[in-house]
Every structure is written in C-alpha cells, then in structure tokens.
Amino acid sequence: MIQKTQPLHLSQSQLNPSPTMMALFAIFTAIVALSLAAIFIRLSERELGPFATIFNRFWIAFIVLWLLNQSKARSQHDEQSSIPKSEYTVRDWLMLIAAGVMFWGCLALWAWSLTQTGVANSTILHNLTPLFTTLGVWLIFGQHFDSRFLIGLMMAMVGATALGLDDLQVATDNFAGDIAAFLSALFSAANLMLIEKLRAKWDATNIIMWCCLVGTVVTLPVVLLTEDRLFPISGSGWLSVISLAVVCQVVGQGLQAYSLKRLSSGLVGVFLLLDPVLAALVAWVLFSEHLSLFNGFAFAVVLVGIYVAKSSHYASQFIEKDSPPALCVAGKTS
C-alpha cells in the first residue's frame, strides 16, 4: 500500500521570527557591538581625554541617528502612513531627559573612576548593574523573581567579578574612584529601567538620539573646563571616535533599546554580563592580553549563570509570551 504524505504548509507567522526572538537577537548583537567599546576608547584616548572621547561619541552618534530618523520620516511620508502618532506628555519628555542624564552619568563616572582606581576595581563595581536593575524593577515596577533567575544572576555576577580579581586593589586612596564606579552601575541600571518605560511610546532610534543630544550638551562644558583638546587631531583618532559612535552607540545602544520593548531591563541586565567576557576575548585577540585558566573558568561561570537565568520562570514570561504556534504536519493517507 502506497502512502502519500501531504505537503507541509507553513503560515506566515511560522515563517517569520517572533518579536521576542528578534529582541533576543538584538540584545546579543548589541552586546557584541558594546564589547568593542573598550578597544575604541583605548585607541581614542591616545589623543583625547576621557570626557572628550565621550563628547565625540555623543555628537557623532546624534548626527547619524538624526539622519536615520529623517530618512525614516521621509519614507513614511511617501507611503502616507496612517499609523497614529503617540502623544508625548511632559512626563515622557522628563523621563527621556533623565535617561540621557543617567547614561551620560554612567559613562562619565566610569571614565573618571578609571583615572582614580584600578581597572579591575572599576570593572567589578560597574558590573553591579544587573543587581541594581533587579532591585529596581522589583521595588519600582513590582516584578517578582523566582529562585532560578536569582541563582543565575548571582552566578553570572560572580563570574564577571572573578575576571578582575587578579588585579584587584584594596587601598584607601582608591576610595573616590571606587565610589564613582559604584555610582556608574546605579546610573546604568536607572538608564535601562527608564528606556524600558520609554519604549512604550518611543522607538529605539529616537530614544538614543535624544539621549545623545542630552549627553552632548552636558559633556561639552565638562570637556572645556577639564581637558585641553576637544576633537581628534589625526585620521586614526577620528576613525576611533567615529567607530565608537557608530558601532557602540548607534548599533549597540540602539539594539539594546530595541530589545527593551520585549525584554525586561532585569533580564537585559543579566545578558549584559557577557560584555566583559567578550571584551576580554577581543583584547586577547587584538592586543595579546594574557588570559589565564582561571579567566576561562570565570567565562564558563558567566555563561552558565546567564543560561540558568534565561531558563527561569521569570525569563520565560518574556521569551515565550509570543512564541509561534507549533508546526502541524498533515496526517498520512493510504
């Protein structure tokens, strides 16, 4: 008896990735882009101070994002889009300005901390961001976490912290730098939570564009008062700051903001602990920086911790909420 198998028919929703899968792809792509920031900053600071580097990062990214928004606006006008525009309140604008200030504060405090304390101290304290984000969304947004997510969070944080233990310094003269790095983690967490709320009305490119404008305005007087040079003086210097702006700010921060439409800032904060892992690997490849067996173990702990957190009930609320329906295969006929 010959059996015939009916052809498999896939609906459009089964062929297209779900919005949440797109958000996951966006955040992991963002992490890859953001992990290159340390390389571009190191190259740019051959000519510029830390605040001038931040200033150039902001204004260049603002121009790129403004051009992207203008192109998108023209495209929508040509198509005569009937999509209603969101009405922005004073509260929305204040939240947007606050997000820009928080992001500027995160970058500025971390940059200053690196001049006052060791890189390891600064990195370890800055990696407290997911802890503060988790506390923030619990206290402010009322989100609750299961034990699996919290265990994964702590594992990933321990692994990220262990990456800098070899060079950890304990000294009273590092106190100011340590406090600055600690505050940079607080500012980073606040920025993530604000963007998560802003994504209810604003698209990602607009949020990052306005954050860049706020950062440019705030950074300019700081550079003029504390540093000697505002712009790079060589082609390689310009290439470094342009790469920092486009790769890390436009692509990295833009995709991170995009992901916060579907993913909680608490979950994104855990994923961002991949950043120091990738940054260390990039430094090993490009600058032949030493990686020990202990570093490899720390990498593994971070990855396992992120996997545990991602597979928690808390994470599944975001990851599985719009998964496409299972494929149905027609039965056989004889």
What are the structural domain ranges in the chain? 19-73+89-321
pLDDT recorded at residue 15 = 52
Which run of H or E residues covers position 263?
A: none
H helices present in 17-169, as ranges: 19-34, 37-44, 50-78, 90-116, 119-126, 129-139, 147-162
Span 21-28, average pLDDT: 90
DSSP assignment of 137-152: HHHTS-----HHHHHH
Distance CA 113, CA 26 (A): 29
- Between CA 268 and CA 130 the distance in angstroms is 8
- pTM equals 0.82
Structure token digits, residue 289: 């920086």
CB-count exposure of residue 212 (10 Å: 0-12, 13-18, 19+)? buried
DSSP letter at 174 equals: G
Q: Label residues 288-327 b or e (16+ Cβ within 10 Å = b).
A: eeeeeeebeebbebbbebbebbbebebbeebbeeeeeeee
**How much of the chain, in percent, has pLDDT values that exceed 90?**
38
CB atoms within 10 A of CB 70: 10
Contact between residue 257 and residue 207 where contact means Cβ atoms under 8 Å apart = yes
Query: Is residue 224 predicted with pLDDT exceeding 60?
Result: yes
Window from 27-41, 98-112, 319-333 with minimum mean pLDDT: 319-333
Q: Please, which pLDDT band fits residue 234 given cuts at 50, 70 and 90?
A: very high
pLDDT band at 102 (very low <50, low <70, confident <90, very high): very high
The pLDDT of residue 84 is above 60: no
The pair of structure tokens assigned to 314 is: 């808390």
Cα–Cα distance measured from residue 84 to residue 125, given in angstroms and rounded to the nearest whole number? 43
What is the band of 170 on the pLDDT scale with cuts at 50, 70, 90?
low
- pLDDT for 327 beyond 50: no
CB-based contacts of 306: which residues, under 8 Å, 6+ apart? 152, 156, 270, 271, 273, 274
What lies within 8 Å, CB to CB, of 220 at 6+ separation is 55
Indicate the pLDDT class of residue 295, thresholds 50, 70 and 90: confident
CB 324 within 8 A of CB 19: no
